[in-house]
Chains A and B, each alone.
Chain A
Amino acid sequence: MTEDGLRAAVAAGVLASEEAHRALLQATVEVARGIFYARASSVLLYDETTDELVFEAVAGEGSDSLVGQRLPSSTGIGGWVLVTRQPIVLDDVSQDPRFAKDAAQKTGFVPKGLMCVPLIHEEEPLGVLYVLDRPQQARFSLEEMELLGLFGNQAAIALDLLQKARRAKAVLDDSGSDAALLARVAENLEGLDGKRRAAGVDLLRSLEALFKD
């Protein structure tokens, strides 16, 4: 399917735009960073084909280099959160030499503290949300933890939409699929005008009525 065809499919409602969902995900990490006054925030998606976590959206430190980088799915703090479905907040973690080395290599800076929450949609953990280096306040509170969880829910919905858009695109990219046929019809209809378009729409309405019977 061509990019024009894809746009036509989006316009026809066959496929939502991946770009729009990516923007939603980016907005989510920007807001998460903003409300926690944090140095950085990121969303990692679980990639089941490679059994890894992949950086999908990053705000703040690392935003120019981290997207696309991968982490193990069941080791390290992100892996623990993904597997256990439990949110975690850690401070002073930069003393841990292995964490410090890994963080420095991946992101170019070593956060002193982090919050990490699983992104769960229906039964499935889709990935994790990180918030790095919020200001050290007197004490962490359970209210902040709940806020983090609320944000996790929102990010999970955005991530779910993004994954569905990708799956739909993969189906459409398969030119032999039924969905691709529909998208081509939509693409062709978009290119018509005048009487031919009206006739095409009439034909499709007739088909619709036929399928309802």
Chain B
Amino acid sequence: MAEPAPERPLPAWSLPAGAAESLALPTQLPGRVTREWAWGGSTGKGVRVCILDSGIERDHPLVGELAGAVAVEVGEDDEITIVDDAEGDLCGHGTACAGIVRSLAPDCELYSVRVLGAGFTGSGAALLGGLRHAVEQDFHVINMSLSTTKSQFAGLLHEVADLAYFKRTVLVASAHNMPVESYPWRFSSVISVGSHEETEAETFYYNPSPPVEFFARGVDVEVAWLGRTQARSTGNSFATPHMSGICALILGKHPELTPFQLKSALYLTATNVEGLGD
């Protein structure tokens, strides 16, 4: 397992003559990237995954231990405050996403950033504030099964999505399955996810016709739900944590990968791509 890339003393704005050696990569991708190379033996250990959603129910048997939980409160003038979250899950969806990630990457650290509960009027500010907070925490993976249609937030979300990309935080976002413009899933700095109808959790497809880049399991998924129960669910918002879980597995084995490299590894190991090198 390779070590993380060393800190560079200066921003990499350019590459001086003779400095190419400084760009030696800690991991050389093999001639053919397989699932075995990408995440064989990984449990997601050491990977910090944030569920940006409705909160997560504590002590749910399908979710297990939570490493941390905060809530975003929206004051007057959309002022954001981050507080410890004792409410748990206000809907059930965040718990469902957490359970899916846990089922794929059993040893990852799960964190909850709750952006629901501030009323609909505060929801855009809560989404943006919650995402900013999550990026500041240097989580490795942020699962966003949500989006906004308000174009006033598009530019600000784009900035945060790019910041995450440069900080090696992977944003995994649900694509819309309705014909509307929404964000942040349309940004190329995130991993956008739609649904396929198959039942295997690690089956995912690369889509050569973006903006949706990957299709993961999102139909009739058994998920954790409120009151320590389970439900059966369908929607892109349940496909997204499947990709987040696979990202956690890959980063558990290859923590040095940048979001670009990770997305490349996802492409090379997608169900409709893996094996093309044979």
Of chain A, the residue at the smallest CB distance from B144 is A84
Complex interface: chain B residues within 8 A of A123 (CB): 149-151, 181
Residues of B228-278 contacting chain A, CB below 8 A: 229-237
A75 at the interface (CB under 8 A from B): yes
Are B227's CB and A98's CB within 8 A?
yes
In this complex, which of B92, B145, B176, B220 has the most chain A Cβ atoms within 10 angstroms of its Cβ? B92
How many residues of chain A get a CB closer than 8 Å to chain B's CBs?
Answer: 44
Complex interface: chain A residues within 8 A of B232 (CB): 90-92, 113
**A75-B116, A77-B92, A98-B227 known; A153 vs B234 contact (CB < 8 Å):** no
Are B93's CB and A85's CB within 8 A?
no
Of A22-30, A59-67, A137-145, A166-174, the segment with at least 4 beta carbons within 8 Å of chain B is: A137-145
**A85-B146, A93-B231 known; A145 vs B151 contact (CB < 8 Å):** no
**A120-B178, A142-B195, A142-B219 known; A84 vs B145 contact (CB < 8 Å):** yes
Please report whether the interface of chain B is mostly helix, strand, loop or mixed according to DSSP.
loop
Are A84's CB and B92's CB within 8 A?
no
B19 at the interface (CB under 8 A from A): no
A72-87 vs B, Cβ < 8 Å mask (1 yes, 0 no): 1111110110111111
Residues of A145-162 contacting chain B, CB below 8 A: 145-146, 149, 152-153
Residues of A82-124 contacting chain B, CB below 8 A: 82-93, 95-99, 113, 117-118, 120, 123-124
Q: How far is the CB of A57 from chain B (nearest CB, A)?
A: 20
Complex interface: chain B residues within 8 A of A145 (CB): 177, 195, 234-235
Residues of B at the A interface (CB closer than 8 Å) are 54, 90-93, 116-123, 127, 145-151, 174, 176-182, 195, 197, 219-220, 225-227, 229-237
